[in-house]
Amino acid sequence: MSGKLKGKKKRKPITLTDVILYLVFAVFALICVFPFYYIFINTISDNQLVGRGQISVLPRGIHFNNYVEVMKQRGLGQAAFISVARTVVGTTLTILGSMFLGYAMSRPEYWRHKLWYRYIIVTMYFNAGIIPWFLTMKNLGLTNNFGAYVIPGIVAPFYMILYKTYVESIPASLEESAQLDGAGYLSRFFRIIFPLSKPMFATIAVFTAVGQWNSFNDTLFLIKDSKLFTLQYILYQYLHEAERLAERMRSGQAAMIAERGSTLTSTAIRMTTTIIVVFPVMCVYPFFQKYFTKGIMIGAVKG
């Protein structure tokens, strides 16, 4: 917070409470992060040692072969492509759709403004339920194709409100001068408003991208064609295979399956895929934290 306050606090002696607080938060942070570290060291350690459960704090026998092998697995490269494609295309469409609508809704001269604004906002508070939604998607032909991933999210009411609120904070005079020069709505949006709204753009872009990357339900409901499976869905399949395998191993039926472990074990596939799926999120989110906070604060105010 304020620098004055920081200076004051520093002069106070460190008490036992301070020490305890530091420790408690160290433990909390460790609980949140350690599982990822644990999975990571297991993917780069000797698969034999991993199989015997001997890797828990430090990696041993470091190699990156698992990553090379996993990408060769059937369907995984394709799934990675689909995940990246839906994130890029979906995020672009949502940004264009929701931000332009937010801009349009920030203009009081919008035809029947109140009516249409309510028409959009109301949809945040009711939900027909998953089965009618599924049937609608089916009737619209949005099953078993890429459109099912990117089209339904184009208008996101929440982002629209965020953006509308933001645009309203931009001085109207900036746009008025362009209006006098005869610029239409589209060119005013793209040439004046859009470049001025970088923080909000970043917030919406990252929220949407993370949402697209993480999305699982839409594949589960709408996609039967394995060529369109995402990384999340493939990982889910691996996990449930692994679970079934573990059950069988426990009952002694599948001792041989464990034997082929020398090259690529099911544990290695599962853990390596997990790291591949987490990695992009991990790279992106810390840099955008200040934008996130700003975003949810505006959200909290307008909610």
Partner 1 sequence: MVKGKKEWQKPGFKLFLMTVPLLVMVFLFSYMPLAGWIYAFYDYRAGMKLANCDFVGLKHFISIFNSPVKLHSILRVMKNTLGISMLNIIASPLPMVVAILLNELRSVRYRKTVQTLTTLPHFISWVLVYSVAFSMFSTDGLVNQVLMGLGLTEKGVNFLADPNHTWLKMWGWNMWKVLGWDAIMYLAAIGSVDREQVEAAQIDGAGRWKVIWHVEVPALLPTFFVLLLMSISNIINCGMEQFYVFSNAMNKSSIEVLDLYVYNQGLGSNQIPYATAVGMLKSVISVTLLAMANGMSKTLRGESIF
DSSP 74-120: TTHHHHHHHHHHHHHHHHHHHHHHHHHHHHHHH-TTSTTHHHHHHHH
Task: With beta carbons less than 8 A apart as the criterion, state whether 143 and 222 touch.
Answer: yes
Shortest CB 260 distance to partner 1, Å = 16
Amino acid at 94: T
Establish if 170 lies at the interface with partner 1 (CB under 8 A).
no
Q: Show contacts with partner 1 in window 211-230 (CB under 8 A).
A: 213-217, 220-221
Cβ atoms of 163 and 197 within 8 Å: the answer is yes
Q: CB under 8 A: which stretch of 65-73, 164-172, 194-202, 267-275 binds partner 1?
A: 267-275
Out of 44, 235, 268, 269, name the contact with partner 1 by CB under 8 A. Answer: 235
CB-based burial label for 294 (10 Å; 0-12, 13-18, 19+): middle
Given candidates 7, 250, 259, 262, which one binds partner 1 under the rule CB under 8 A? 250
Q: CB of 197: closest distance to partner 1 in angstroms?
A: 18
Q: How far is the CB of 210 from partner 1 (least distance, A)?
A: 5
Segment near partner 1 (CB under 8 A), from 62-70, 78-86, 168-176, 294-302? 294-302
- Cα–Cα distance for residue pair 131/112, rounded to 1 Å: 33
Other beta carbons within 10 Å of 174: 13
Span from 63-71, 79-87, 194-202, 246-254 in contact with partner 1 (CB under 8 A): 246-254
Task: List alpha helices for the chain, DSSP H.
Answer: 3-11, 16-44, 47-51, 65-72, 76-106, 113-121, 130-139, 147-150, 157-168, 172-180, 185-188, 194-196, 198-214, 217-222, 231-250, 255-259, 266-284, 289-302
Q: Which of residues 54-93 bind partner 1 (CB under 8 A)?
A: 56
Near partner 1 by CB under 8 A, which window of 65-73, 80-88, 95-103, 164-172?
A: 95-103
Nearest distance from C-beta of residue 14 to partner 1, angstroms: 8
Q: Does 36 help bind partner 1 (rule: CB under 8 A)? A: yes
For residue 193, the 8-state DSSP code is: I
Q: By C-beta, is 88 or 220 nearer to partner 1?
A: 220
Q: Give the CA radius of gyration of the chain.
A: 25
Q: Which of 57, 22, 62, 16 is nearest to 37 (CA)?
A: 57
Q: Does 243 bind partner 1 (CB under 8 A)?
A: yes
Among 16, 58, 109, 252, which residue interacts with partner 1 (rule: CB under 8 A)?
109
Segment near partner 1 (CB under 8 A), from 31-39, 64-72, 166-174, 193-201? Answer: 31-39
Residues 110-169 that bind partner 1 (CB under 8 A): 110-113, 116, 119-120, 123, 125-136, 140, 151-152, 154-155, 157
Q: Which stretch binds partner 1 (CB under 8 A): 66-74, 81-89, 192-200, 207-215?
A: 207-215
37 forms part of the interface with partner 1 (CB under 8 A) = no
Backbone angles phi, psi at 141, to 5 degrees: 75, 15
251 touches partner 1 (CB under 8 A): no
